[in-house]
Chain A
Amino acid sequence: MAAGLDPTQGLRSPRQGARRRLGGALWRRRWLKGLTLLAPPVLAFLVVYVSALVALFISAFWTVNPFTGETIHHWTLDNFRELWHGAAYHDVALRTIEIAGAVTITDAVLAFPFAYFMARIASGRVRALLFVLVLLPLWASYLARVYAWRLILNSDGLLNWSLHKIGLPPANIAYTNTAMWIVFSYIWLPFMILPVYASLERIPHSYIEASRDLGGRGFRTLRSVILPLALPGIVAGSIFTFSLTLGDYITPVLIGGASSQFIGNVVYDSVNGSGNLPFGAAFAVVPVLVMGVYLVIARRLGAFDAL
């Protein structure tokens, strides 16, 4: 029995066995331990996800026989040429990016005061309640919530009925880009609130006190201390709102009007309508490039530590 171990305190001599030897071996060769931890997820991603992506973007250089649907494995830039010269595709891409940006800004504005209240003003019970209230909508189906907005925004819908009751003229925003902006901002709001809350919660109270001691009034503290510290959270949330809007095609179908096509719709119609996967893949390069740039900027701003 090893000296110094008191069995009455529940301490037992460590068992010598395969488990301990293995544990020891991994402790000595740290790289092996790191490898066993990292290999499964990284390999899984590389073998399944990344190779699928690469294959998809390779197919952007091919074409398809329109009548039979067979892929013609002949390298060509035709798909890209068509995208470059098609004014409609430029319109679609710009519209998608603009609305994604508008949604991101809207959600950031809506979420920040909310998250601030949750993180720094609310008592423990109120905070718990708010947490539950923010998470719960994620469990009500996305489709059902978007469809409910149709009922609200329709010509004879809830919004116009309420406006009528208070004597205002009806808002004709059903099936417009404005409607899409409202619905997208609504759907992704919890995804913005959560990371902003997390980063605001992490700010030690001592920082605020120090700022006050140095003479900063409320707004100055907000601007110089809180916002910069909360920025990674805001940017992290914006990754969600921007990319989820950028790639969506369901809300434009349900809520959009005659000129509301998103990149996702053109890609979807290309793949599931025309059966032209290469063209869809070619157009899908656009959101990938946009998100690539966005992610690089986000990483610079520290968002990856705040996701």
Chain B
Amino acid sequence: MESRATRIGLGIWVVAVLAFLYVPITVICLYAFNASNVQSWPIAGITTKWFSPAIHNGDLQQALWLSLKAASLATGIALVLGSAASFGVHRFRFFGRESISFLLVLPIALPGIITGMALNSYFVFWRFNFGLWTIVIGHATFCVVVVYNNVVARLRRIPGSLTEASMDLGADGLQTFRYVTFPSISTALISGGLLAFALSFDEVIVTTFTAGAQNTLPIWIFGQIRLGQQLPQVNVVVFLILAVTIIPVVLAQRLTRESGILRTE
């Protein structure tokens, strides 16, 4: 095993990195209680007066709801298309197999502004109405690869013999999928889906181009940052979202931990 000094050293490094990661987040949460609407250090005073206006803010509610809808739909599409693609690539050998990975990773590898511009012109050309579905399409492009990667990585670790054994025992395709394959990839789907949801929920660059006059939450936040009048409301929202999402993130972590049956060591 690693020497004690190494372990202590690494432990200190981990704490330092965590501090780096969480100082700004602490700042955000602290300034949700800022007495002034202009952010400066040190904090002008502590108050909870921003919580009520933030929760009752109609624009904010609409933006949050739109973000949730778009992220759910985009994640749903990503789960279906991403798993289909991963099964196709994993199980079959054919010409151009590697280019599929390349194709799917493009939306994340290319700058978001290019995806945004391209889709915007595309929607205008085909006279699509800008709205929820244009936002969802924009998000789905980069969500698919996140699910795809997770599922492909998991599929590589599942012995192919499991499927064959299931078929030998008389299960048809759908039964095999439901009782054998799906359970073994379910945790990959969960972690991939959760990451895809997070990416979509927080996305602002592509959404600027694919949303019409609607606001998703990040776009609303940017509008508030521009205005500079109600910044603490932004902090309140982020603070509440963080508090709420601890639950699904911890839950997902506990679920994905139990993949011991597939450890190939």
Contact = CB atoms under 8 A, between A and B. Distances in A.
Does a CB–CB distance below 8 Å link A and B in the complex? Answer: yes
Interface in A134-165: 134-145, 147-152, 154, 156-158, 161
Contacts of A139: 198, 201-202, 241-242, 245, 249
A250 to B, nearest CB: 7
A278 B106 CA distance: 21
A273 interface: no
Contacts of B189: none
A117 B11 contact: yes
B14 to A, nearest CB: 5
B24 A152 contact: yes
A299 B92 CA distance: 20
A77 interface: no
Given A55-B122, A243-B111, A151 B39 contact: yes
A34 B242 contact: no
Contacts of A150: 39
B158 interface: no
B103 A45 contact: yes
B91 A246 contact: no
Given A52-B122, A151-B40, A151-B41, A158 B110 contact: no
Interface residues of A, number: 101
A57 B205 CA distance: 19
A137 B118 contact: no
A287 B95 CA distance: 28
A48 B118 CA distance: 10
A290 B170 CA distance: 52
A137 B237 CA distance: 14
B202 A280 contact: no
Q: Which of B10, B23, B111, B201 has the most CB of A within 10 A?
A: B111
Interface residues of B, number: 96
A40 B18 CA distance: 41
B132 interface: no
Interface of B: 2-3, 6-7, 10-11, 13-14, 17-18, 20-25, 27-28, 31, 39-42, 80-82, 84-85, 87-89, 91-92, 94, 98, 100-115, 117-119, 121-122, 125, 137, 141, 144-145, 149, 153, 169-174, 195, 198-199, 201-202, 204-205, 217-218, 221-222, 225, 231, 234-235, 237-238, 241-242, 245-246, 249-250, 253-254, 257, 265
Interface of A: 5, 11, 14, 19-20, 22-24, 26-27, 30-31, 34, 37-38, 40-42, 44-46, 48-53, 55-56, 59, 110, 113-114, 116-118, 120-121, 124, 128, 130-145, 147-152, 154, 156-158, 161, 186, 189-190, 198, 204-206, 218, 239-240, 243, 246-250, 254, 263-264, 267-268, 271, 277, 280-281, 284, 287-288, 291, 294-295, 299, 304, 307
Query: When A and B form their complex, which 7 residue pairs have the shortest distance between CB atoms, in order from nearest?
Result: A247-B111, A23-B173, A37-B88, A38-B88, A52-B122, A52-B118, A41-B81
16 contacts: A19-B174, A40-B80, A52-B119, A56-B118, A110-B20, A133-B21, A135-B253, A137-B22, A140-B28, A141-B221, A148-B25, A267-B113, A267-B117, A287-B110, A294-B109, A299-B102
